[in-house]
Each structure stands twice: as C-alpha cells, then as structure tokens.
Structure 1
Amino acid sequence: MSAQQTNPNENRPEVPFNPYAPGYDVNPHPALEKLRAEAPIFYWEQGRCWVLSRYEDGVTVLRDDKRFSPNRDDWEFASVLGADALIPEMEELNKNGLFALNEGGHARVRRLVSPAFTPRATERLRPEIQAITDEVLDTLAAKGRLDMVKEFSERIPARVIGSMLKIPQGHEEQFLEFTNAVAKSVFAGALAPEELAPLRRQIHEGIVLVTETIDDRRRNPLENDILTTLIQTEEQGDKLNKQELLALVSSLIVGGFETTVHLVSFCVYNLLQQPGVLAEVKSKPELIKNLVEEVLRFDYFVKMGAARYAREDVELGGMHIKKGQMLLVLLGSVLRDERAFDKAHVFDLQRNANVSIAFGHGAHFCLGANLARLMVQIAMGSLVRRFPEMRLVKQPSFGPHSLMRKMEELEVDLGSPSA
C-alpha cells in the first residue's frame, strides 16, 4: 500500500506504508525511519487519516486541544465505525468514557478521578501487586523453559485489577473473562460472527458483576480501596454517576490489562536481547525503572499510536488538514526520532526519559500511567531477582492484532532460581 499526498501540488515521493505487512510487527523501525525522512506528514488512504512520524509534530498535535480533539465523534468518518453496533453492550461504556466526553465533561471527570491515580495513591497498591507477582513466580520455579507471554505477562495484570476493585470471591474467573472480552472488543470488526455472541455475553455478564460490585461498595465502603475512593470522590457536591464509574472501570481494564501485558513481554524480550542489559540491571536493581522507560521509547508496542481529530482547517508541516480529518501520531516512530533523542537507535539505560510521550501528553495524559509503570516495575524487578540466570531460547513470534504489535510467544529458559 502506498501512502500519497492529498495535495496534488506537493512533490513528495510515495512511501510504502503498511502496518499489517509481514514482518512489520517484528521490526517496524526501517519503515518508520523511512517515513520520518521522506514523508513525516502524509495522508494514508487505507486508514483515512494523516500520519505523523516525527516527535515535534506529534507533541504539537497532542498538546493542542484547541485545534485537535481526542473525541472520535469529531471525525468525518465517525458514522461508519460500527463497533458499538457490533457490540451494543459497549455503547454505554464508550459514550461515557473520557475520550468520548466533550472538553468540559472530560475536565470534570478527570478532576474527580485524578486523586485516585496519583503516584502516592498508586503506591499504596504495591503490597498487593508484589504478593500477586510472587505467587505467579512461585508457580514458574520448577518449569525451566516456558512461554513468558502466557505464563507470566498475561497472568499478573488481570489479577491486579480484580484485586484493586475487590471483585467478590468466586467471581475472579468471570472477571478475567470480562477483562479479556473488553480488550478484544477494540477490534470487534475483525471478528467472525460466531465469535461475537460469546464476547457479548461475557461483556454483559461482566457489566452486571461490576455494577453489583459498585452498588455493594456504596453500601459497604472499604479503606484504601480504589473503587470506594472513586465512589466517594466529590468536589463541591459533584460526584461520578454509575455510568461514569462503569466507563472508568472499562478504561482501566483496557489500559491496565492490554498495555501492561505487552509492556511486560517487551521488557522481558529487550532485557534478554540487548547485550549487557541484564548484567547491568542485576548489578543495579534501581535501573529497573530506566529499563521500563527505555523499552517504552525504544521498542514501543502500540502499532497505530494516538488519534486526534481536526476541529478546524489546519496547516501543519506544509500540509493542509481539513476540519474533521483524523491525525494519527505514530508513537513508535515519534519515540525513535533522531531529532529528539540522541542516538535514538541505541538502547540506553542511562537515558533521560522525561521527554517520553508513550502514555500521552498534556491534558489527555493516561490516567493509569502510574499504575502500569508500578505493575511492570514490580514484575520485572521480581523476575530478575528470582531468576538471574534466565536466557532467551529463541526470537518471539507475533500474532495478528489491529492495534498492537502482539507478541504471541516468548520462550525463555529461567535457569536456576536464586536462593
């Protein structure tokens, strides 16, 4: 697929861009480097959007809420998305989600929920996350070789989120099904009809479970409980309603589960793939934080990036962008931009990560970023401490996914556990 300029007077070369091409998920960086060099802003016909691949352009769009909206209702093709029609159970959740709210509604909800996601509030979850991680690692000790994606990365986030919300005992498996179904619903359009029915059932049953949990928590609040905090949060008499709480739980699942699973897998891979990195982390455990940030920059796993929609006609990088058109900030390219990062192609644990926009930028910075970072830091720190001799058996395999570079299997030999 060739990406072409919509401006006939623009004499830029055609640049092949196909994020679904064989091999792209394994290593997208040659294609992204070509984009940055030859067509940093172009209209991608297949995706019906403008694609931005340089850091400066990406930050400009993400920080400018006056000209660029995160609300997909502002997109010229919003009426043909069809995802809610395929899974009506998600419609109520989506329309009350942060990205669907107008500017005033977004600011109001974010103001109410932000205290529950500060670094200090998130840090209170450390003992729970550590206990879950240790329990998972205990089950791996005698296995030797294993698939880290299915047996490590995927086993921690859903349990952490369920524990955070204090899902009633006996419903953990149902909540796990709900978690997987909500994450899968993002690309419902690619599912076969026979796959939609069980997905809808799992989402419906999950919504009932979470609704009942919210109602119970209203009657029986708990201390140091994130759901109780969200229910009781109030500013000048303003509170979140039940639909807004449900939407936030859904957002927490999508962001906290899918993102964290991928980040853990990519951290394990880069830790074992980069020469000397494992030895450096073993000798200086405090570098685990740097490891997580550098993996987010160096090997970002979100294939499509952050979407914004033009509120008005805009000139950007010599391109005329019309009101209603989508702009896709390719974060995997932006975070490897040589103009913003010294030796961007080098994995550097000592790099200053303060300029990273992996979790967004400005008013729409991801609320769950602190939680995701904490989960991954604990998971990776515990893994290195317990299995310092682990090694990569073979290169990972990747599976189809419309939005992510989905690492499907990562075979690792854990070696002898530490005493």
Structure 2
Amino acid sequence: MSDHQTNPSENRPAVQFNPYAPGYDVNPNPALEKLRAQAPIFYWEQGRCWVVSRYEDGLTVLRDDKRFSPNRDDWEFASVLGSDALIPEMEELNKNGLFALGEQNHARVRRLVSPAFTPRATERLRPEIQATVDEILDSMAAKGRVNMVHEFSERIPARVIGSMLKIPKGNEELFVDFTNAVAKSVFASALAPEELAPLRRQIREGIVLVTETIEERRRNPQENDILTTLIQTEEQGDKLNKQELLALVSSLIVGGFETTVHLFSFCVYNLLQYPEAFAELKTRPELTKNLVEEVLRFDNFVKMGPARYALEDMELGGMRIKKGQMLVVLVGSALRDERAFDKADVFDIQRNASAGIAFGHGAHYCLGANLARLMGQISMGTLVRRFPEMRLVKQPSFGPHSLMRKMEVLEVDLGSPSA
C-alpha cells in the first residue's frame, strides 16, 4: 500500500473498490456501504484519485473553495488527459465552458447567467415543458410496450432544451443530434475511431445552428427567452462574449441533458419497483416533488463525481492529501450515508427531504438544478396520470459509462391509458 493511502498510525483494512466491476451499476450499495464503514476516504490507485464516501466529508470537499478546486488544470495528471485532441471542435467550447473556468471568471459568468435559471425564470418554462411531455406521451400511447430510456427519458430533455433556446422550426432533429454528440464527446477517448467522424460532423453542424440562432436572436430579441436574456446581459457593462455564449449553451447541454435522462429513467424504475409508492403517488400527485428528491437520494445514478482537486497539502479524515491530487465525492454513497439520513436504505416518497449535494454545493451548485427538478416533476406527474396501470416487464439493463450508472433498456408495459 502506497504511503499516501493511509496514515501510518492507523491500520486500515484492505478495501477493494471497482466501479466498473460486473453488477456494480445494477446495485453499487454493498460496495459503497463497505467503503463508508471501513475506508471513508480511500485512495483508488486505478483512478489516480481519492474517493470520498461519507456525506459530511463530501460536503466539506464541495463547499471549501479555498482548499479544493473544480478546475481540472489543478490536477497533477491534467496534462495527460483531454478529449480536445480527438474532437477539436469542442476545444473552444470546453475552454470557455463553466466547467473549465478559473474561480474569478467562473464567478463572473455565473453572476451574469444566474438570472436565467432562478426558480421564477424556470417556472415560466412550465407550459413549454408540459406541451413537450404531452406530445411525447401521445406518441407512446399506441405502442403499449416501450423502452422508457429511449422513448421517454432521452426525448424530453433534448426537446425541452431546444424549446428553451427557441431553436428554429425544422432544425429540432439537428439540435437533438448536436445534444447527443456533445454529451458523448465527454467520453471521446472511449469511442471507436469510426464513431468520431459522425460525432465531429454533428458538433460542427450544431455549432453553426446555435451560432446562427444567437445572431438571429440578437437581431430579433424575444420576451421571456433565455438566449435573449444572455445576449442582453452581454450588451451591458460587464458582458459575455460570443465564445462564452456558445460555450454556455454547450454547458447547458452537458449539465442538463444527460443527467436529466438518467433522472427520468431511475424515477420510472424506482416507482415501478415499489408498488406502494406508485399507489400513493396516484392518489397524492403532490408527492411527485418528493419522488424526484427521493430517487436522487436513494438511487443516485452518478457513479463517479463530482470531482475536486487539492490546492494544498492537507489532512482529511485522517488521510494525508497532497497538493494536486483529485478527490471524487461518491455522491450516490454520501446520499445513502446512515449518519446523515434516517433509515437511509428505505425508499420513502414521504421523506420530504432535499437530496442536497445531488446537484453539488456552494459556488459550483448546478445552475440547471431548478430546471432538472421541474422537468422531472412535470414528466413523472404526467406519466403517472396518463398511464396508471404501467408495469415493469423485466429488470433494466445497463451499458458502459465512466461516470454514470447508464441504464440502457427499461422495458415497461404502459397498460391502458387513462381517459
């Protein structure tokens, strides 16, 4: 065991951690429970990082901006990574994206963008989200048995983001392709060479589409429109430049699309796994908000992350952390921590507790959290109302993904739709 893994004064038990082991995505909880009990801050050699599995430790890492940075440039191995060489089209987007900005620039851009993502601003999108959900459920109704991941979860977020940006009519599919390509580009190193060419083409076409949409909106501003809000912010004193505007759209896609896809799938799965919760939601639809929070807490789909990088040598939980080392907060473990949540291993949609760090914390709390929650509440509430007899056909299957428990097939029989 290397000298930075453990404090010499302690005799920690040997713990195995492999988030890519067979069966981990289906049920990571036995492995995470062992980590929390035996090695809550553990150096994972394969990942070149510390994994943090308890809630309080995770909260410490996420909220302490003086000792921990979200900028990957602060990682000791940052120079050997990066997908930009594989997909150069993403280089400018990534360089100006919220995920890559230094502390001062991040605070500046976030201050300018935040008004577009307040609860009040997000609530104005309710009619558009509801219309999108209704249209997609209408198309599902005649099919009877569907893969909810493809038919439901993947279709709604991309359509909603396109609607938010008011992508011109006739370009919706092009934008959906761009959305999927940007999300996939994060894992370019895992793609086969023949997959990169179409991905790059879709990203190039999407960048042109979004750039043209930004310029059109500059000429013809619209009321209650996120792009207009961002453009008008650009044209006042402290401003966003064109590259930042484009990068913000990319950040919105990366942060708002894939995460929401997983949220929808895991909400459907858990609801159908627990018939008593399903029955309760049908009689008390106001519990839909609780459902979303409890799924985020009880069965979180984030396998690895969020990540932070140590800005100095320090001690954390008895472990010696060196400057430049990565720490990954295992949010799925932290939210099942028995020390932080009463009956943490019980799925309870009456819990009425926020999932807290599911969307990060502090200065880097997810800008799109309000939007993700609203989409989840509207989508699940409408789904349950429209298909009260739906049932799980078989257990879901999972596909490979470095950061997420990626549900690929969730086969559901919709039953008879309600009148």
TM-score category, normalised to shorter length: over 0.9
Equivalent runs, 1:114-133 vs 2, <5 Å: 114-133=114-133
Shift of 1:348: 1.1
TM-score of the pair, normalised by structure 2: 0.97
Moved more, 330-339 or 355-364: 355-364
Corresponding residue of 1:195? 195
Distance 2:44 2:2 in 1: 5
Corresponding residue of 1:71? 71
Corresponding residue of 1:353? 353
TM-score of the pair, normalised by structure 1: 0.97
Shift of 1:393: 1.0
Corresponding residue of 1:154? 154
Corresponding residue of 1:344? 344
Equivalent residues of 1:387, 1:415 under 8 A apart: yes
Equivalent runs, 1:40-55 vs 2, <5 Å: 40-55=40-55
Corresponding residue of 2:5? 6
Distance 1:393 1:376 in 2: 22
Equivalent residues of 1:285, 1:381 under 8 A apart: yes
Corresponding residue of 1:259? 259
Instruction: For residue 138 of structure 1, give the secondary structure of its aligned residue in structure 2.
Output: helix
Corresponding residue of 1:108? 108
Distance 1:4 1:43 in 2: 10
Distance 2:246 2:200 in 1: 16
Shift of 1:82: 2.7
Equivalent residues of 1:4, 1:42 under 8 A apart: no
Distance 1:3 1:131 in 2: 56
Shift of 1:103: 1.2
Equivalent residues of 2:252, 2:368 under 8 A apart: yes
Shift of 1:351: 1.4
Equivalent residues of 1:149, 1:410 under 8 A apart: yes
Distance 1:91 1:80 in 2: 15
Corresponding residue of 2:185? 185
Number of aligned positions between the proteins: 418
Distance 1:86 1:287 in 2: 45
Equivalent residues of 1:297, 1:332 under 8 A apart: yes
Equivalent runs, 1:2-401 vs 2, <5 Å: 6-7=5-6, 9=8, 10-233=10-233, 237-354=237-354, 356-401=356-401
* Gap change, CA 1:287 and 1:3, over 3 Å in 2: farther
Equivalent residues of 2:296, 2:355 under 8 A apart: no
Distance 1:151 1:51 in 2: 35
Instruction: For residue 407 of structure 1, give the secondary structure of its aligned residue in structure 2.
Output: strand
**How well do the aligned residues superpose, as a CA RMSD in angstroms?**
1.4
**Partner letter of residue 361 of structure 2?**
H
Shift of 1:160: 0.7
**Partner letter of residue 220 of structure 2?**
N
Equivalent residues of 1:4, 1:45 under 8 A apart: no
Distance 2:147 2:156 in 1: 14
Deviations 1:106-127 (A, max 9, x none): 1100100000000000000000
**Partner letter of residue 17 of structure 2?**
F
Deviations 1:323-378 (A, max 9, x none): 11000000010000000000100011121323621000111100000011111111
Deviations 1:266-315 (A, max 9, x none): 00000110130101100100000000000000000011020000011111
Instruction: For residue 99 of structure 2, give the secondary structure of its aligned residue in structure 1.
Output: helix
Structure 2 segments unaligned to the other structure (5+ residues): none
Instruction: For residue 309 of structure 2, give the secondary structure of its aligned residue in structure 1.
Output: strand
Distance 1:107 1:357 in 2: 20
Equivalent residues of 1:3, 1:45 under 8 A apart: no
Equivalent residues of 1:5, 1:12 under 8 A apart: no
Shift of 1:3: 10
Moved more, 17-26 or 135-144: 135-144
Instruction: For residue 154 of structure 2, give the secondary structure of its aligned residue in structure 1.
Output: helix
Distance 1:389 1:169 in 2: 35
Distance 2:130 2:236 in 1: 36
Deviations 1:198-222 (A, max 9, x none): 1111111111111111111111111
Equivalent residues of 1:41, 1:317 under 8 A apart: yes
Distance 2:235 2:105 in 1: 14
Equivalent residues of 1:3, 1:14 under 8 A apart: no
Distance 2:103 2:295 in 1: 32
**Partner letter of residue 196 of structure 2?**
L
* Gap change, CA 1:235 and 1:359, over 3 Å in 2: farther
Shift of 1:8: 6.8
Equivalent residues of 1:3, 1:16 under 8 A apart: no
Moved more, 232-241 or 404-413: 232-241
Moved more, 227-236 or 117-126: 227-236
Instruction: For residue 402 of structure 2, give the secondary structure of its aligned residue in structure 1.
Output: coil
Distance 1:219 1:185 in 2: 31
Shift of 1:100: 1.3
Identity level (%):
85
**Partner letter of residue 284 of structure 1?**
R
**Partner letter of residue 368 of structure 1?**
G
Instruction: For residue 84 of structure 1, give the secondary structure of its aligned residue in structure 2.
Output: coil
* Gap change, CA 1:4 and 1:174, over 3 Å in 2: farther
Instruction: For residue 99 of structure 1, give the secondary structure of its aligned residue in structure 2.
Output: coil
Equivalent residues of 2:99, 2:251 under 8 A apart: no
Shift of 1:407: 0.5
Shift of 1:176: 1.0
Moved more, 340-349 or 355-364: 355-364
Distance 2:82 2:115 in 1: 34
**Partner letter of residue 5 of structure 2?**
T
Distance 2:7 2:97 in 1: 39
Shift of 1:235: 9.1
Instruction: For residue 59 of structure 2, give the secondary structure of its aligned residue in structure 1.
Output: helix
Structure 1 segments unaligned to the other structure (5+ residues): none
